[in-house]
Structure 1
C-alpha cells in the first residue's frame, strides 16, 4: 500500500506530541517560556523537507489551506467561547458532593448536544471548579468532565461535534444522531456509576482530613451573573453551523462548484462562509466584553493564559499532522475495514490523536465505497446504519482518549491547572483513559458493534 507521502514526514507530528507529553515534566519552566519555539521547530521540520520534495507552491498550499480553512475557524471558535463563558459566573452555596457533581456531569453531557462539546465545556467548567474549590482531591472530577461533557455528550446532534455536522452536510438526516441515544445512556450509566464511587471515596477522605465547604447560610441559593451572555453563546453556535452549511448553498458556490471567497495562493481560498463565521464569533466575543462588568471576570479568575497555550500548540499540531491525514485519506479505502467493530476502533483510535472531523470523513467515505445496498443514502454512497453508528461513536467518544483528541480537552486541562487543579500529564491522562474509558469501549464493541 504505497502512498505519495513518505511515512517519515509524520515524524515532526510525533516529535511535537512527545514534546507536549514529556518536556513539561522534565523542564516545566523552560517549556512555559519556549513552547512556541518548540512548535516553530517541529513545524519547520515538516515544512522544509516537504517544500524540497514537492516545491514551494504545493507546500504553501498545504500549509496555508490548513491555517486558513482549518486552524483559523478552530481557534476563533475556541476564543469566542472562552471569552463569552468567562463572562458568566455561578453564585450560590452549592457544594461539590458526589451527588451534585454527578448531576452536573449528567446535565453538561446532554447540554453538549445542544450547544456543542466546546460550548458546554466552557459554560460548565468554571461552575464545576467553583463548587469543588473546597475539595482537596478533584482532578478526577475534571477528567470525567472531559470524558463526558467535552466528548461523549456531543453525539446526539450535528450541533454537538464537528464530525456529525460534516455527516449532516453529506446527507445524514439531522435527527439521525438520536439513534446513538441508547449507546450514550448505556455508557453514562457505567461511567457515572464509576464516577460516583470514585468521587465518594475522595469526598470521604477530604471530609476526614477536615476539609469543609464554605457555606455561610443554610439552604441552597443559586444564581448566574452575566446570564445575558448565553445569547452570545448561542450566537457563536449559530455562526459555527452557518460556517458548516453555507458552503453547500449555491449562492456561495462558483459555476465549478467551489466555494466563493478570498483567493490566498494557488488553490487556497478563504471562503465567504468561513469569513461570516469568524466575524459573527468575534462580534459575539466583543459584545460580551462590552456588556459584562469586569468584576465577573475577576470572580472567575479570568486570564488569557489557557487560550494562548492552546493557540500556540494547536497551530503546530494542525500543520504537522497533515502528512498523517494525507496518508490516511489515500489508504482509507485500501485498509480492508469492512466490519462495524473495525470502523468503530479505526475511527476512534485515529480520532484520539488526529482531528476527528477528517478521520470521520475518511471512514464515512470508506463505508460508502463498500457497495452496500441497504442503509442510509448519502452523497458518499449507501451506508448501513450499524456502520454509521460505529463511525460516529468512534469519532465522538474516543476523542476523549487524549488531551489533543478534541478541541475542548486541552482547554479544560489548562483552565483547571490555572485554578490550582493539578491535572495529569499527557501520558498520565492517557493512563486514566485506558483504565476507565477503554473497558467501556470494549463493552460497547461486544454489545453494539459485533
Structure 2
C-alpha cells in the first residue's frame, strides 16, 4: 500500500508540473492535440457544488441545479471549442451524450419506473435482524438484475419497513455499500464495467471467481452494520418508538409482481447491448458498429438503439399494466430521476478531459501489480465513471505483455490482475455518491421520503471509516 501511495504522489506531481504535456483521448487524432490539465477545473467545480452547496445554500441548490450544471458544462465546452475548434468540441460532447449518457439515463429511467410499480405490504418491521436479511438478499440479487435494478427494487420496501425509526440514514448508507455496489461483482449483468469486460473476451461466468471476495466483504460489512444498527435500534426503542403493526405475526404481500417480467426485459436489453456489437450483422466491413450517423464520427449504434427501445417499452408497459394506487403507496414522484438526470449530464460532460488524460497516460503509469490495479482503478472509479476506468486498466494490463492468464481481445491478463481491476471498479464505486449510478438515486429517494441523508463529505466519512479498512484487508488477503 505504501508503494501505491508513493506512486500516486509521484504521478500527481508529474502531471501538475507538466500540464501542457497531458495526453488526450485514445487514438492518433487525440494524441496530436494534447488536453491540458486545467480543462479538468469544470469537473472539479461541479463536484464541489454537489458536495458543498447542499450544505450552505440548500434551497438555492434545490431550485438551481440546472443552472449550475449548465455553467460548469459551458466552462468546459467553450474553452475546449476555442482551442480545438467547434467541430471537435461538438463531437466530444455528442459522443459523450449519445454513447454514454443516453444509455445510462435510459437504463436508470426504466428501472426507476418499473420498480416504482412494485410495492411490499405487511407486518414486517425494520429491525437489525430484518435489515440484515434484506441487505443480504439485495446484495446477492445485484449480480443477476444489476446493482441499479436491485437498488430500485428494494429501496422502497427497506424505507417502508424502517419508517417507524428515527435513526435510519445509516441503513441507506450500508444499502448503497452492499446492494448498489459490492453485490454487482459476480456477473456482467451486475455492473457495466464487467459487461465491457465480457464484450472483450472475458467469459460470462468468469466473475463467479470473485464470490469469495464478495462474501468476505459482505460478511464483514454486515457485521459492522449489525453493531451500528442495533445501537440505534435500541436508542429508538428507548425513546418509545415502536413499529405500527396492527396484528401479531408476519404477513407480507407484494403487489405489482408482474413487473418482474419488465425487469427481465431490461436485463435482457443490457445483455443484448453487450453481445450484439460482436455479431457480423451489426459490423461494418471496417469492423465498426453499424448505427445512425449523428455528427462527425459520432454514431448511435444499432445495439444501443435496440437496448433503448426495449427499456422504454418495458417502462411504458409497466405503467400501462399497473394500478396508480401502487405508485401512490410507494410515494412515487419524478424528483429522484430528475435530479440524477440533471446532475449526471453535467458530470458526464465535464469529466471528459479527466478521462482523456487517464486514457492517454494509462500505459505509462507503470502499474503491474494486482494491489496497484485494485487501488488505482478503485480510487479513480470513485469519482470518474467506473466503466471507462475499468477499460483503461484492462487495456493497460493486456498491453503489458503478460505471458500467462486469461486470453482477452486486448491481450493476456493474469487472473489476479483481472480480479483486482474488476473488484476495484465495482467495489470502490461505493466510496462516494457519484461513484456509481444507483448511489445518488438511493440518496434522492431517501431524501424524498424524509430520511436525512449524510452530505457528500458526510457520506465519504462513512466510506472512509467502514469501507477503506475492509479494502485494506482485501489488499492483504487477495491482492498482495
Structure 1 length as normaliser, TM-score?
0.99
> CA–CA distance in 2 between the matches of 1:248 and 1:269?
16
1:54 aligned partner: 84
Shift in Å, 1:385: 0.5
CA offsets 1:193-214 (integer angstroms, 9 cap, x no match): 1101110000000000000000
1:65 aligned partner: 95
> CA–CA distance in 2 between the matches of 1:271 and 1:190?
42
2:354 aligned partner: 324
1:393 corresponds to 2:445: no
Shift in Å, 1:320: 0.2
> CA–CA distance in 2 between the matches of 1:407 and 1:244?
18
Say which SS state the counterpart of residue 270 (structure 1) adopts.
strand
1:250 aligned partner: 280
1:145 aligned partner: 175
1:404 corresponds to 2:450: no
1:108 aligned partner: 138
1:223 corresponds to 2:261: no
Say which SS state the counterpart of residue 305 (structure 2) adopts.
helix
2:389 aligned partner: 359
2:328 to 290, 293, 298: 298
Shift in Å, 1:71: 0.3
2:68 to 38, 46, 57: 38
2:241 aligned partner: 211
> CA–CA distance in 2 between the matches of 1:315 and 1:250?
32
1:371 corresponds to 2:401: yes
Say which SS state the counterpart of residue 371 (structure 1) adopts.
coil
1:121 corresponds to 2:151: yes
Shift in Å, 1:241: 1.4
2:30 aligned partner: none
After TM superposition, where is structure 1 displaced by more than 3 Å over at least 4 residues in a row?
none
1:202 corresponds to 2:232: yes
1:262 corresponds to 2:292: yes
Shift in Å, 1:298: 0.4
> CA–CA distance in 2 between the matches of 1:183 and 1:360?
18
Say which SS state the counterpart of residue 437 (structure 1) adopts.
helix
1:383 corresponds to 2:410: no
Say which SS state the counterpart of residue 257 (structure 2) adopts.
coil
CA offsets 1:373-413 (integer angstroms, 9 cap, x no match): 11001011100000001000000000000000001000000
Shift in Å, 1:338: 1.1
Say which SS state the counterpart of residue 165 (structure 2) adopts.
coil
1:10 aligned partner: 40
Shift in Å, 1:32: 1.1
2:206 aligned partner: 176
**How many pairs were matched up?**
450
2:468 to 438, 441, 445: 438
Shift in Å, 1:246: 1.0
> CA–CA distance in 1 between the matches of 2:106 and 2:340?
11
Say which SS state the counterpart of residue 228 (structure 1) adopts.
helix
Q: Which moved more, 1:243-252 or 1:279-288?
A: 243-252
CA offsets 1:165-208 (integer angstroms, 9 cap, x no match): 11011111111101101101111111111101110000000000
Instruction: Give the root-mean-square deviation of aligned CA atoms.
Output: 0.7
CA offsets 1:225-265 (integer angstroms, 9 cap, x no match): 00000100110111111122211111011111111111110
> CA–CA distance in 2 between the matches of 1:306 and 1:356?
22
Structure 1 gaps, min length 5: none
Whether the aligned pair in 1 keeps the contact of 2:198 and 2:274 (CA below 8 Å) is no
Structure 2 gaps, min length 5: 1-14, 16-20, 24-33
> CA–CA distance in 2 between the matches of 1:260 and 1:189?
45
